[in-house]
A = this chain, B = another copy of it.
């Protein structure tokens, strides 16, 4: 559930979105993008949640170069265009450098 990321520094792409009413193709594309992202060099993990109309997806990456390569991936680019046209009423992408991290896991 919570991504097992390495010690900082690393990068995060924060994607927050509000969906349209259009569902056609969305679930399949979202699942495919998760699988494809996980295969990219420098991918460190992903966390995602959606409630009350707001979706948040966090993907973690080793470097800005890894983020750039994923951004330019042909299949990802095509799906992103479709997302803009069909699935999302509003969305924001933020790229950030994780400087420190801490936490606990009592379930482990």
Q: Hey, which chain B residues are within 8 Å of A52, CB to CB?
A: 1, 49
Q: Hey, which chain B residues are within 8 Å of A97, CB to CB?
A: 96-97, 99
Residue in chain B with minimal CB distance to A94: B101
Residue in chain B with minimal CB distance to A64: B99
Q: Hey, which chain B residues are within 8 Å of A5, CB to CB?
A: 92, 94
**Interface secondary structure of A, over-half rule:** strand
> B8, B47, B96, B103: which contacts A56 (Cβ < 8 A)?
B47
Known: A1-B54, A12-B14, A16-B47. A90 touches B106 (CB 8 A): yes
A41 at the interface (CB under 8 A from B): no
- The answer to whether A51 and B51 have CB atoms under 8 Å apart is yes
